[in-house]
Amino acid sequence: MDGKKIRTRFAPSPTGFMHLGNLRTALYTYLIAKKNNGDFILRIEDTDRERYVDGAVNVIYNSLKQCGLNWDEGPDIGGNYGPYIQSERMDIYREHASKLIKNAKAYYCFCGKDRMDAIHEEQKSKGLTPFYDRHCRNLSDNEVKQKLSSGTPYVIRQKIPTEGRTIFHDEIYGDITVQNSELDDQILIKSDGMPTYNFANVIDDHTMEITHVVRGNEYLSSAPKYNLLYESFGWEAPVYIHVEQIMRDAAHKLSKRDGDAYFDDFIKQGYLIPAILNYIALLGWAPKGENEIFNLDELKKEFDISGISKSPAIFDPIKMRAINGMYIRALSLEEFISRAKPYVRLACKREDIDYKILCAALQPRTELLTDIPSQVDFIDELPEYETSLFENKKMKTDTENSREILRQLLPMLETLDNYQKNILHDNLMAFVEKSGLKNGQVLFPLRVALSGKTMTPGGGVELCAIIGKDETVRRIKIAIKKLA
């Protein structure tokens, strides 16, 4: 690969939403290319028509664009190595399959489904892993011609050497040796004329001059067959990088049922896209230093293949929330207001809310945008609450002294005309100083009276400013009555 321009590819199948594991593969593939000033190619592998989902290609486009993983070549923008959709490359696959047959590296197999099922059942009964018995491997040219001319259905199989061994190198796992006798004569072209994934991806990667291939380690067992295909054509194999799967725990993969499998799931949960990318970069990769917070541009500089681990990547929702919280707190107040406002409106319909005061109080307390509605649901209407909320040992408050404090506060808040935050702050602090009490002894009862909660975005000062004079006075009167 020395001297070659780095070319990587992300080659998803259009079968639905973007899975978190697929997005991580796309990210690693993108980073390898961009760190080395290379090209990142998008290829759509749509030969599995049974799993094809209408609209899924657009989901792939939109998900990558949202993440800033912009491709240099692809179906929508073209390039010098197209077509970039496998179903449009059928002539290329047939041409290369014919070359393999001509060079005795592949052969026609006419075994039907009934025969294959019977063979596999017999093998299973003997405790063997099902494999093809190579029944058609040594058919004569005349036998093959006769069956082809009679229209007998066929597949094309790779002619794997029966002796010797195949060695391939993976950047993560090192050199791996497999005895050829353990490899099955895999199908290259199916009976419907469509190529298998194992064949098409080799042809595509070579003809598109891909230098580095990132994929899940479930494909490790197929890598020897890929190498044998490269050897059959006299081609140089790419650099392999097989990454571990992302697991919910040691025994379970991420699943749609748990709401943690797809990129869109996280967006709906209130995650920021840069935080999602940052976190999934760490699922199986370790940076060299202590820092783990990187935006996309920083990842391009920091990412290195040597940091990818062989160990399973365990998904940690607590860490992901924490990272998202860091990204939320790093937003400017204006950016946070823009993102938070739709979530505020889910629980708060008032039109007179000062979003600067509210969001300045919300931002430090928000890890997910979906945390917001439950924090502001008291603004429109005071919820029912128990007077026991006023009892707090740390604040040295109970129902009796809380009632007295609120009773003394009420006249000041009734006569105060300006409810701007700074004016409220000065007046409340003056009250605290005059009363000889601690801040918490005054502001905690005020918080509970105004919100019906012990934890809110902002304290008593902010709550007064947010809900306004009339509602502040009304709610304090309700609290005094409840505490009587």
Q: What is the CATH number of the domain that holds 395?
A: 1.10.10.350
Calpha distance 114→106 (Å, rounded): 23
In which domain, by residue range, is 143 found?
Answer: 89-243
Q: Per the domain annotation, does 299 fall within a domain?
A: no
Examine the domain organization and report whether 353 and 432 are in the same domain: no
Under DSSP, is residue 172 helix (H, G, I), strand (E, B) or coil? coil
Task: Examine the domain organization and report whether 173 and 228 are in the same domain.
Answer: yes
Cα gap 253→12, rounded to integer Å: 19
Residues 127 and 161 in one domain: yes
Same domain, 339 and 403: no
Q: Domain boundary at 320, 343, 376, which? A: 376
Residue at 1 is within a domain:
no
- Is residue 15 assigned to a domain? no
Alpha-carbon span 446 to 266, nearest angstrom: 36
pLDDT along the chain (484 residues), means of 10: 86 90 96 97 89 90 97 96 95 97 97 94 92 95 96 97 94 94 95 93 97 92 93 96 89 68 91 97 94 96 94 92 98 97 95 94 97 96 96 94 96 95 96 93 97 95 96 97 94
- CATH code of the domain in which 116 resides: 3.40.50.620
**pTM, to two decimals:** 0.90
Indicate if 237 and 100 belong to the same structural domain: yes
d(CA 351, CA 72): 46
Query: Do 176 and 101 have their domain in common?
Result: yes
Cα dist from 39 to 2, 10, 12, 67, 242, whole Å: 16, 11, 17, 17, 20
The pLDDT, as a whole number, for residue 430 is 96
Residue 191 CB-density burial (10 A; 0-12 exposed, 13-18 middle, 19+ buried): middle
On whether residue 352 sits in a domain, the answer given is yes
Answer yes or no: do 235 and 152 share one domain. yes
> For the chain, what is the domain count?
3
Token pair listed for 450: 């105004």
Residues 393, 444, single domain; the answer is yes
Q: Two tokens at 333?
A: 């107040």
Domain membership flag for residue 216: yes
Catalytic residue among 5, 99, 124, 256: 256
Domain-ending residue, one of 323, 354, 376: 376
Cα angle for residues 9, 12, 18 (degrees, 5° grid): 120
Residues 362 and 436 in one domain: no
CA 78 to each of CA 36, 61, 207, 285: distance values in angstroms, whole numbers, following the listed order: 22, 14, 15, 32
Assess contact for 237 and 168: CB atoms under 8 A: yes
Residue 33 lies in a domain: no
Where is the domain boundary, 190, 210, 243? 243
128 lies in the same domain as 178: yes
Give me the residues paired with residue 9 across strands: 41
Query: 337 lies in a domain?
Result: yes
The DSSP H or E segment spanning 243 is strand 239-243
In this structure, the answer to whether residues 366 and 459 fall within a common structural domain is no
Distance CA 384, CA 163 (A): 79
In a domain, 144, yes or no: yes
What span, in angstroms and rounded, lies between the C-alpha atoms of 81 and 252? 39
pLDDT at 221: 86
| 256 catalytic residue (yes or no) | yes
Q: Do 435 and 357 share a structural domain?
A: no
